[in-house]
């Protein structure tokens, strides 16, 4: 469904991502794990078109998409749930959800989709009229996912869904992610906390210092020698 | 049914309440002596400019130092279309068709407003690619360019000498009506999906992009729309004073209108209105003190510049202690029902 080839991202002189190739098949959950600063967010942001690609290519359903504007990518079916508290704090919960449909043209189907999001995350229903900035961390994460769903994505990119959340809340978020896959959404998760991301995913890539150092399914990876080195970034080895 | 009525009331109350305040103020002030009426008229014109500024700055979160240039273009545009031909022949050196052209005031105002809008579009396309401080500096540069051109284009603007002979039609009621229109338009924009998208990008640009909002386009829409309103403010100003000089569209107005917006709170329409009222009243009081008064043969007066210093001081205090402005960026909420949970 999605394939990147030697994808690089730079910020000025700093190389954030140095030639990453990965592929995601339809209806898979793929996770990318790695320490802070490994380039995980840059990878997602580049796929979503939020940061420019320095070199390399991205293909989505056979179409080259590197350099495409984010709003166009949303229309194609790629939605990003950005890292952390990236909701619109001054807008109400209802406005936040609705704005997710900004790139859609089928206006009359939106109410039904809002309803589906509220059914998926009932806590949000109780707070529809409140400013989103007043929500708890977990609720904000659910809101950010709900907002992304309003674009009816076929590929959902989620940046650090567990960041700063209590374990119980993390389970709830991951349960929602599993539900989404059951509905046919393909999902790419980026995580620093390896345990959850390994459990939830069909396959996992390990990213360190801007390159993929390991790849495989969760069980294989954990058994593999050097996994922890790579993961914790003590020494990045060549794959 | 009751639910729908309440929902509508809740929606229009923030703007209706502001409109009521303005109407009551105008009605009271129109009973006052002429100088007071003139001060009030000037304040309503300022309000139109501040509302225009708010449409862009408030919703996008990007500061603009350049909006007074739209005011200037509106003012000079309308002047050229309404000054009597024989007057234009003496002071200006225009192409013959423009010299001969004299339009009624309303079409002239609309054309002048459109000119500001077109200019905003032309400079907005490159400027809206910038963010933060670069965008603010870019708008400032555009103000400087317009100012220099107007000060030196002798044939069209009269250059350094004042342009005279404009029909004077702006009184307190005309200014009020246009201020109410500006208020309504600004609120309609803010509550529209375009306004909501732009406010979302103000809250969080990355999330807005990721959600699929074309941030640049939304900014440009607000920039161009705000230029129309500010341009109209310029038109009304021109036909209030009746005399135009380039220096009345430069740093002084830029500073005072921005001060009004910042002091009131730049994230809400209520802030734009509150700031304009507070700064106008305070400025007038300081001006009176500055002018001084007589006790017997003794003339007491504060040093010149008290008004500017006083307003700057107020702005400083607001920035330090209430950075969201007097209204904290909130609108006036519907008072009759408890807040919905």
Inter-chain residue contact B203 with A91, CB threshold 8 Å: yes
DSSP per-residue letters across chain A: -EEEEEEEEEETTEEEEEEEEEEE-TT-EEEEE--TTSSHHHHHHHHTTSS---EEEEEETTEE-TT--HHHHHHHTEEEE-SSS-S-TTSBHHHHHHHTTTT-S-GGGHHHHHHHHHHH-HHHHTTTTSBGGGS-HHHHHHHHHHHHHTT--SEEEEE-TTTT--HHHHHHHHHHHHHHHHTT-EEEEEESSHHHHHHH-SEEEEEETTEEEEEE-HHHHHHSTTHHHHHHTSSPPP-
Q: Looking at the domain assignment, is residue A30 inside a domain?
A: yes
Per-residue pLDDT tens over the stretch A51-69: 999 999 999 998 999 889 9
Least CB–CB distance from B209: residue in A70, A129, A144: A70
Please count the structural domains in chain A.
Answer: 1
Inter-chain residue contact B267 with A90, CB threshold 8 Å: yes
Strands A155-159 and A78-81 turn out to be: parallel
pLDDT in the model for residue B294 = 78
Inter-chain residue contact A102 with B197, CB threshold 8 Å: yes
pLDDT in the model for residue B269 = 96
Q: Looking at the domain assignment, is residue A38 inside a domain?
A: yes
Inter-chain residue contact B341 with A126, CB threshold 8 Å: yes
pLDDT in the model for residue B337 = 61
Least CB–CB distance from A88: residue in B203, B212, B214: B203
Residue A224 pLDDT class (50, 70, 90 cuts): confident
A125 touching B, CB under 8 A? no
Average pLDDT of A84-101?
88
Domain that holds residue A34: 2-232
Q: For residues B113 and B185, what is the distance between their CA atoms, to the nearest angstrom? A: 15
Inter-chain residue contact B196 with A95, CB threshold 8 Å: yes
Q: Looking at the domain assignment, is residue A239 inside a domain?
A: no
Chain A neighbors of B200, CB-CB under 8 A: 88, 91, 95-96, 99
Q: Coil, strand or helix: which one is B33?
A: coil
pLDDT in the model for residue A20 = 93
A148 touching B, CB under 8 A? yes
Inter-chain residue contact A99 with B203, CB threshold 8 Å: no
Residue B30 has φ and ψ, to the nearest 5°, of -70, -15
Residue A2 has pLDDT above 60, yes or no: yes
Q: Coil, strand or helix: which one is B300?
A: strand
A205 to chain B nearest CA, in Å?
Answer: 23
pLDDT in the model for residue B338 = 55
Q: Looking at the domain assignment, is residue A64 inside a domain?
A: yes
Q: For residues B44 and B179, what is the distance between their CA atoms, to the nearest angstrom? A: 6
Mutate: best of B7, B193, B207, B213, partner A, most A CBs <10 A: B207
DSSP H helical ranges for B242-300: 251-264, 269-291
A93 touching B, CB under 8 A? no
Chain B, nearest residue to A100 by Cα: B211
Least CB–CB distance from A86: residue in B199, B204, B341: B204
B20 to chain A nearest CA, in Å?
Answer: 26
Instruction: Count contacts between A and B (CB, < 8 Å).
Output: 77
Q: Looking at the domain assignment, is residue A41 inside a domain?
A: yes
Q: Looking at the domain assignment, is residue A238 inside a domain?
A: no
Q: Is ipTM > 0.85 here?
A: no
Q: Which CATH number goes with the domain that contains A155?
A: 3.40.50.300
Residue A157 has pLDDT above 90, yes or no: yes
Question: Residue B146: which of B67, B214, B215, B61 has the closest Cα?
Answer: B67
Residue A236 has pLDDT above 70, yes or no: no
DSSP H helical ranges for B93-214: 96-100, 105-127, 132-152, 154-157, 172-191, 193-203, 205-211
A46 touching B, CB under 8 A? no
Inter-chain residue contact B199 with A87, CB threshold 8 Å: no
Q: Looking at the domain assignment, is residue A237 inside a domain?
A: no
Question: Residue A34: which of A24, A46, A44 has the closest Cα?
Answer: A44
Q: Which residues of chain B have pLDDT under 70?
A: 1-2, 337-341
Q: What is the mean pLDDT of chain A?
A: 88
Residue A208 has pLDDT above 90, yes or no: no
pLDDT in the model for residue B255 = 93
CA B159-B161-B164 angle, 5° bins: 105
Residue A107 pLDDT class (50, 70, 90 cuts): confident
pLDDT in the model for residue B340 = 47
- pTM, to two decimals: 0.86
Q: Looking at the domain assignment, is residue A121 inside a domain?
A: yes
Question: Residue A164: which of A96, A67, A218, A85 has the closest Cα?
Answer: A85
Chain B, nearest residue to A87 by Cα: B207
pLDDT in the model for residue A228 = 64
pLDDT in the model for residue A226 = 67
A107 touching B, CB under 8 A? no
pLDDT in the model for residue B46 = 97
Question: Residue B195: which of B213, B175, B180 has the closest Cα?
Answer: B213
Average pLDDT of A179-201?
89
Chain B neighbors of A97, CB-CB under 8 A: none
Cα B109 to Cα B72, B179, B236, B275: the distances in Å are 13, 15, 8, 26
pLDDT in the model for residue A85 = 67
Question: Residue B112: which of B269, B235, B13 has the closest Cα?
Answer: B235
What count of other Cβ atoms lies within 10 Å of the Cβ of residue A48?
Answer: 25
The arrangement of strands across the sheet holding A55-60 comes to A14-24, A2-11, A55-60, A63-64
């Amino acid at each position: 469904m999605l394939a990147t080839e030697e994808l690089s991202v730079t910020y000025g002189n700093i190389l954030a991502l140095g030639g990453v190739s990965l592929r995601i098949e339809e209806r898979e959950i793929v996770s990318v794990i790695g320490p802070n600063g490994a380039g995980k967010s840059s990878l997602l942001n580049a796929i979503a078109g939020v940061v420019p690609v320095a070199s390399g290519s991205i293909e989505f359903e056979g179409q080259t998409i590197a350099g495409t504007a984010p709003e166009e990518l949303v229309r194609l079916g790629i939605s990003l749930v950005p890292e952390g508290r990236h909701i619109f704090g001054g807008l109400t919960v209802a406005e936040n959800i609705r704005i997710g449909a900004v790139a859609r043209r089928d206006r009359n189907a939106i109410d039904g989709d809002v309803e589906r999001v509220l059914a998926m995350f009932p806590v949000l229903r109780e707070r529809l009229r409140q400013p989103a900035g007043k929500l708890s961390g977990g609720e904000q994460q659910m809101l950010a996912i709900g907002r992304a769903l309003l674009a009816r994505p076929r590929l959902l990119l989620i940046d650090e869904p567990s960041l700063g959340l209590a374990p119980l809340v993390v389970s709830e978020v991951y349960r929602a992610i599993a539900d989404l896959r059951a509905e046919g959404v393909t999902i790419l998760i980026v995580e620093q906390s390896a345990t959850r991301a390994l459990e939830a995913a069909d396959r996992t890539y390990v990213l360190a210092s801007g390159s993929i150092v390991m790849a495989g399914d969760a069980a294989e990876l954990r058994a593999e020698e050097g996994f922890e080195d790579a993961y914790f970034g003590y020494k990045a080895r060549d794959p | 049914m009751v639910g729908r009525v309440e929902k509508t009331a809740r929606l229009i109350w923030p703007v209706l309440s502001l409109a009521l305040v303005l109407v009551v103020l105008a009605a009271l002030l129109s009973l006052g002596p002429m100088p007071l009426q003139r001060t009030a008229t000037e304040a309503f014109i300022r309000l139109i400019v501040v509302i225009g500024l708010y449409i862009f700055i408030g919703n996008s979160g990007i500061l603009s130092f350049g909006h007074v240039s739209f005011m200037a273009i509106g003012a000079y545009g309308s002047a050229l279309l309404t000054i009597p031909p024989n007057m234009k022949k003496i002071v200006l050196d225009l192409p013959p068709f423009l010299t001969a052209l004299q339009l009624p005031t309303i079409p002239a105002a609309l054309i002048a407003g459109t000119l500001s809008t077109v200019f905003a579009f032309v400079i907005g396309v490159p400027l809206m690619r910038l963010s933060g401080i670069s965008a603010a500096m870019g708008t400032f540069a555009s103000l400087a360019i317009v100012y220099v051109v107007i000060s030196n284009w002798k044939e069209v603007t009269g250059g350094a000498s004042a342009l005279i002979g404009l029909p004077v039609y702006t009184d307190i009621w005309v200014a009020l009506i246009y201020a109410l229109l500006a208020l309504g338009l600004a609120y309609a924009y803010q509550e529209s999906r375009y306004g909501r998208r732009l406010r979302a990008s103000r809250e969080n640009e990355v999330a807005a992009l990721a959600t699929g909002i074309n941030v640049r386009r939304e900014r440009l829409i607000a920039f161009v729309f705000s230029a129309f309103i500010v341009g109209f403010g310029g038109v009304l100003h021109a036909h209030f004073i009746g005399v135009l000089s380039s220096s009345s569209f430069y740093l002084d107005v830029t500073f005072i209108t921005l001060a009004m917006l910042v002091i009131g709170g730049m994230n809400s329409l209520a802030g734009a209105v509150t700031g304009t009222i507070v700064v106008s009243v305070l400025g007038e009081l300081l001006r009176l003190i500055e002018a001084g008064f007589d006790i017997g043969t003794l003339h007491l007066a504060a040093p010149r510049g008290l008004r500017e210093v006083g307003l700057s001081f107020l702005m400083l205090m607001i920035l330090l202690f209430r950075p969201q402005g007097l209204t904290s960026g909130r609108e006036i909420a519907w008072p009759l029902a408890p807040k919905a949970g």
